[in-house]
Amino acid sequence: MELSRKIAVKELLQKEKLLFDGAFGTYYAQLYDTKELPEFANLFHPERVMEIHREYIEAGAQIIRTNTFACNTNSMNASWDKVEECLCQGYRLARQAALTGKTVDSAIPIMVAADIGQIPRSDRQDDLSQEYVKICRTFLDEGADFFVFETFSDLEDIREAIDLIGDNAFIVVQFAMNQFGYSDLGLSAKKMIHQAERTPKVDAVGFNCGVGPAHMQQIIRNLTLSGQKFLTALPNAGYPQIVQNRMIFSQQNIDYFAEKLRDIAADGADILGGCCGTTPEYICRIAETVHLAQPQKVLPTIIPPVQSTPQKNFSFFAGKENKKLIAVELAPPMGSDDEKLMDAAHLLQKSGVDVLTFPDSPSGRTRADSILMAEKVARETGMCVMPHICCRDKNAIAVRSGLLGAYINHIYNFLIVTGDPVPSMTRNTIKSVFNFDSVGLMRMIGELNEDQFSDAPVCFGGAINQSRKNLDVEISRVKKKIEAGASFFLTQPISTAEGVERVRRIKHETGARILCGIMPFVSLRNVTFMKNEMMGIDISEEVLSRYQQDMTREEGEQVGINLAREILNATQDFADGYYFSFPFNRVNMLGKILQ
């Protein structure tokens, strides 16, 4: 009986190293200045696709990747039907090239790898895992038995797709790292490789893109590998120059590149090849330079773990197991005048508040930086502070930088939120980032806790939107956040009996530490605005009817105080604490609510 591709490739790799092709996309752009994704050539210029595949085969590539790296609805800005058509045609063209191309060694048949790149995350698409599943199912229906997941910065979104493929194909997962060994989500090469090594269906793990061969070799040499997976290495040709908005790679370093790949092979890489900037000439020189015979693999000696020292705990709830926790939000100013905020912070110094929180430009409108504002309040009042960190405005580099700076300034508590979308009127000029959602950012902080903050890990939590139409989805999100390391949750403001019961159910089904959100509305104008213009805050007509147009300031505040007391009483049997958001930073109301 014919061996499965998975078994056949594994047996082949016991005897010799294998060689991938080079970068289809950058080579296509070098040949054809079309200003469009090369994947569209599957549909409109199939002869170009065939010719490039054949060039790589003639150069010595034993595995060619389908021209489908960016075949997804986000990258192509196309319907799924169009993406599916492009995937199928891309696989068929590569398969035809593999069957008809002239090979260097006719004894080894050319293998075709279904190529899948990371789908760009956007505020329109929260869960990408299902599209990866659809992509893999399409390839499987075409007969694919070799899969390459390339340029990933996280493993989470493709786990379901990997499970779908199962034992039906040989599976490679490759991560893109910068020269310091971190993905664009801030996760280390060590973390990513170990995650992949613990995924049973994955057969080979390694790196592609992001760095040139010297930096990739350095990253590989700093790893301790289990030896249970084959190792891949597909560096860029080097570092490009940007000329007229195009990436231009030097073609003068082919000999150097091949020599570095020879060294990387000697360091233990089993599957080699090239990424951005590598042409058929690069692959040809690698085939000529690298000795592909495979030495017997030896598993590394297991070194006993070093006994760790006790960790310091600076969480805002440390040692307060029997206390109802109190968090108060202070909204940073929209301008440079922080007098009102600082007055509010000083007023709360002796109030018994456990932590002050600072939102990160909520609703997509600029406010003073949450970390810097928190640092000033902590420095001047000595209170525990907790800035919110939003995924909308900063890429992974900036977020990681901010977290490191906060830690250096003794800020150890954070609320992690995905963030509201940028208002539509500004989207043409202001773009959301969303390198990750709140769960992805939590995983990155977990990585920092292991690598950088191991002596005193930071404490982070998440938000709960109990008003979400499908509460089961919100419960699932809470569970994912707990798995990612969240140790507490703050809810959206509760003002109805239904809201209370929804949070009660979340508490019952997840066991999360929950601080119930309370917003004491202070006037008819205030409550009307919050009901009609702010997402996630459920305000009933009964609550609205309590406020009158002609109320004095004191009367409006008293209605808010009474409402807050009702929520306290309704949630006291399950709430671990309370999270107060006072309109206009009117924190003087807190004492009257808690008395």
3-class secondary structure per residue, 400-430? HHHHHHHHHCCCCEEEEECCCCCCHHHCCCC
> Which pLDDT belongs to residue 1?
31
Positions of CATH 3.20.20.330 in the chain: 5-289
> Which pLDDT belongs to residue 238?
82
Instruction: Write phi, then psi, for 257 (nearest 5 degrees).
Output: -60, -45
Give the Cα separation of 355 and 378 in Å (integer): 10
> Which pLDDT belongs to residue 537?
82
Instruction: Write phi, then psi, for 465 (nearest 5 degrees).
Output: -105, 90
Strands 325-329 and 577-581: parallel
CA distances from 512 to 52, 321, 412, 429, 464 (A): 54, 14, 20, 39, 11
Number of neighbouring beta carbons within 10 Å of residue 335: 9
Positions of CATH 3.20.20.220 in the chain: 325-594
Q: What is the pTM of this model?
A: 0.70
Q: CATH topology for 5-289?
A: TIM Barrel (3.20.20)
Helices (H), 101-158: 129-141
Intervals of the chain under pLDDT 50: 1, 243-244, 298-303, 425
Q: CATH topology for 325-594?
A: TIM Barrel (3.20.20)
* Best CA proximity match to 376, nearest among 346, 347, 353: 346
The kind and range of the H/E element at 174 are strand 170-175
Based on the number of CB atoms within 10 Å of its own CB, is 469 exposed (0-12), middle (13-18) or buried (19 or more)? Answer: exposed
Based on the number of CB atoms within 10 Å of its own CB, is 74 exposed (0-12), middle (13-18) or buried (19 or more)? Answer: middle
Is 193 in a helix, a strand, or coil? helix
- Angle (CA) 309 310 315, round 5°: 140
Lookup: tokens for 534: 């702010």
Task: Quote the longest CA-to-CA distance of the chain.
Answer: 90
Lookup: tokens for 381: 């009042």
Is 64 in a helix, a strand, or coil? strand
529 contacts 568 by C-beta, under 8 angstroms: no
Helices (H), 294-393: 339-347, 370-381
> Which pLDDT belongs to residue 242?
53
